[in-house]
Structure 1
Amino acid sequence: MRNENATAGAAAAAGFTAVVVMHPLDVVRTRFQVNDGRVSHLPSYKNTAHAVFTITRSEGLRGLYAGFLPGVLGSSIAWGLYFFFYDKAKKRYARNSEGKLSPGFHLASAAEAGSLVCLCTNPVWLVKTRLQLQTPIHQIRPYSGLYDAFRTIMREEGVSALYKGIVPSLFLVSVGAIQITAYEQLRKVVVDFKSKRITIHNQNPDKLLNSAYYAVLGATSKLAAILLTYPFQVIRTRLQQRPSDDGVPRYMGTWHVVKETARFEGVRGYYKGITANLLRNAPASSIIFIVYENVLKYLKPSRRND
């Protein structure tokens, strides 16, 4: 049985690697998500490539890596905690089901882990979003960094502001639940197929799969999760925007975002930035599972096929 500390360490390393490589696309996605055509302090981009070019030209690499510190901190913590809680939940369910975990138990374990991680990391994601939305034409005094952002938010809006977007965030727990369940089931199918094909019995599954398999499985499972849940990401990002100069939030709550987006933008509004999101998350998910699986092999040579 895998060691929880090894699992958490592998996941944290995977999360860090993915953020370093893919963060510029995260900035582009965030700016697309909040741009409803009625925001004056945000530049307008034609598409993902134009956004990257425009940000690089007007803001430099610093613009492409806005919010990087909370992004890398949040991702490393989130993935580490996620797999730690996930393994704990799986072990608990396994004791009650004679060691056999059905897809339903994998889903329940992933949902439980995601909810706990969401409550722990929402303040970090809120700060990341706000730092990513700061541009040279921003009309409010910009945050100077991670610490200044936390301090200013708590002073001007109160501690409760750190949990803006928590409702759609909890709905977005399904992203991790869907992804990890799909990954586990696809992984099991591939291992079973390869085991039968090469007629090796009781073979450690780590010997049957390599980084190419982890990349494909990670990207495929992430794609399914994104397509099903993306509107919640848009809703959360719009809720997490910084209030205007007079302290009034652009959106008052989840239902307000839903109504206003439908009214002014239609269904398309709920999928703004999805191209950048797919370009970021499919490769990022591949990177995460490649690093996670290989670091786990290094830290813990034997892996139980559960």
Structure 2
Amino acid sequence: MSDSTVHAIAGAGGGFISMALTYPLITVSSRMQVQKDKTSKESYKSGTDAVKKIIAKEGVSGLYSGLDSALFGITLTNYCYYYFYEFTKGIINKAQMSTIESMSAGAVAGAATVLITNPIWVINTRIATRNASAPNARPLGTIETATQMIKDGGLKSFWQGVMPALVLVANPIIQYTVFEKIKAKIAKTRSLTSFDFFILGAISKLAATSITYPYIVVKSRMQLKQSDDAKERYSSIMDGFRKIVKYEGVAGLYKGISSKIVQSILTASFLFMVQASLVQYVARLLSVLGLRAQKRI
């Protein structure tokens, strides 16, 4: 198996572990992103308030709504991203890529990943926010949610929010470019440790999420079942921006950002640390199984 496959498997494992550790923060952030009315008694005033209300109404399990689809989604997402990123780096075939080359590799990997995995994240967003949008609704699993989506809107429902998701390819481009550049500087002076990868993941994700967060809010809302109310239905990315600012103010573009920043930083930190640690183990395992020639990467 190629180096691209080794990195992809390690990335998938890192994504699975990081998602499992930080998922409650994703639930809180997702619900606050899609929340449009902050005046009702049921609305979430802050991340802490959201946690309290979710547990009070749904139990601790409410913080893990949609975990199964999220774990599957992040595993596939990271597998695809690392595979295409390393594959593109292999085509460029340079030990040290320029900023433009690194961003190009990220763009190819990000676009391919979005097109493959968007349906999974639409399902996950619907599950994670269902109790918030319909408080008395019975919780639905992954298969039930997918079936309901097909019934309500056909197969095109799985591709809602794909345009802002493609725009958000800028997020991993920024993240991996910052990561690679800082890593290269440190690598010139000493070998990197697991803690270095943890910190690099935090720094790179903080930069990426801070810049792209308004698009994340628009994407999350476009992935929901669109309302019949014209002011809550977004026909495009720009329409989403206009309506959020008009009805909720600029602050509406940053709903849930505090929990999202914490979740994103922790997820990226664990991801980079675990992925870096798993690469050599995966390579050795595949060699033992006879699926790969013995070599270090």
Check whether TM > 0.5.
yes
> 231, 241, 249: which is aligned to 1:258?
241
Q: Once structures 1 and 2 are overlaid, which stretch shifts more, 23-32 or 256-265?
A: 256-265
**Residue deviations 1:39-74, cap 9 Å, x none?**
97x931121112112211211122100111111111
Distance (Å, rounded) in 1 between the aligned partners of 2:240 and 2:147: 26
Scaled by the length of structure 2, the TM-score of the pair is 0.89
Residues 1-306 of structure 1 mapped to structure 2, 5 A cutoff: 3-37=3-37, 43-94=42-93, 100-135=96-131, 138=134, 142=138, 144-194=140-190, 208-244=191-227, 250-253=232-235, 254-300=237-283
Distance (Å, rounded) in 2 between the aligned partners of 1:31 and 1:79: 23
More helix by share: 2
Equivalences, count? 286
Displacement of 1:137 in angstroms is: 7.4
Percentage of pairs with the same residue: 29
Distance 1:136 1:181, change over 3 A: closer
Displacement of 1:181 in angstroms is: 1.1
Contact 1:242 1:249 (C-alpha < 8 Å) held by counterparts: no
The code of the aligned residue for 2:232 comes to R
Contact 1:2 1:303 (C-alpha < 8 Å) held by counterparts: no
The code of the aligned residue for 1:229 comes to T
The code of the aligned residue for 2:262 comes to L
Contact 1:22 1:280 (C-alpha < 8 Å) held by counterparts: yes
Contact 1:82 1:117 (C-alpha < 8 Å) held by counterparts: yes
Distance 1:177 1:85, change over 3 A: same
Distance 1:189 1:162, change over 3 A: same
Distance 1:277 1:136, change over 3 A: closer
Displacement of 1:104 in angstroms is: 1.0
Instruction: Give me the CA root mean square deviation.
Output: 2.3
**Residue deviations 1:154-178, cap 9 Å, x none?**
1210111111101110010011111
Q: Which runs of 5+ in 2 are unaligned?
A: 285-294
Structure 1 segments, 4+ long, off by >4 Å, are: 139-143, 246-249, 301-304
Displacement of 1:299 in angstroms is: 2.5
Q: Which runs of 5+ in 1 are unaligned?
A: 195-207
Distance 1:101 1:243, change over 3 A: closer
Contact 1:24 1:64 (C-alpha < 8 Å) held by counterparts: yes
Distance 1:298 1:107, change over 3 A: same
